[in-house]
Amino acid sequence: MKKRSLMLVTVFSLIATIFAVMPAHAQTAAEQRAVPNPIIITEDDINNSFRVTNPPNRRVTDLSIDLQPGVAVHSYTYTIRAPRGGATTSFAIVATLTPSVTNGRIYWTLTGATVDGQPASQDMINQINAVLTSSWRNFIRTNARPGRVTSVTITDTEVQIAYQ
């Protein structure tokens, strides 16, 4: 039960780091037209972004995103702080997310996760994906520039997002 709760809390940290990939400021119509197509975001850009170097959840430390062909692997330590006088507990978490494009939108799917080397159950992965999908959709609705995404390509060093 404790690990199940930990995995659910973890999803919110994952969502925050995924959002680091998206542009963080409002753009005028002229600026939106000037955005290169495809948008290219390097692994260094992601790992040096404010959301990764300063995660919104202070329980998350040592966060890093490793791009691999077709997937983004998130690795971090999640610490549960105990009441005063108690010991803290830390968990090493690794999550693998795969992007896909459907109807002009990017969807991220958690394809695997481990907590201290123990794999998450398929039921837990399904629950996280349900939350992840709705959160990503809400973020895109308010922050993405107009247009339809035609493809997302992840290599060892970058993410390419092509718009139409």
pLDDT digits (tens, 9 = 90+) for 76-98: 999 988 788 788 889 999 999 99
CA distances from 96 to 16, 114, 146 (A): 15, 9, 28
pLDDT tens track for 96-108: 999 999 888 888 8
- Packing angle of the helix pair 122-143, 2-19 (nearest 10 deg): 30
Q: How far apart are CA 46 and CA 66, in angstroms?
A: 9
Closest CA to 108 of 56, 58, 149, 50: 149
Max avg pLDDT among 38-52, 61-75, 119-133, 134-148:
61-75
Out of 3-17, 107-121, 146-160, least confident range: 3-17
Tokens found for residue 138? 């809400």
Q: How far apart are CA 76 and CA 95, in angstroms?
A: 9
Out of 16-25, 65-74, 94-103, 108-117, least confident range: 16-25
Mean pLDDT, rounded, for 60-74:
93
Closest CA to 94 of 30, 7, 2, 5: 7
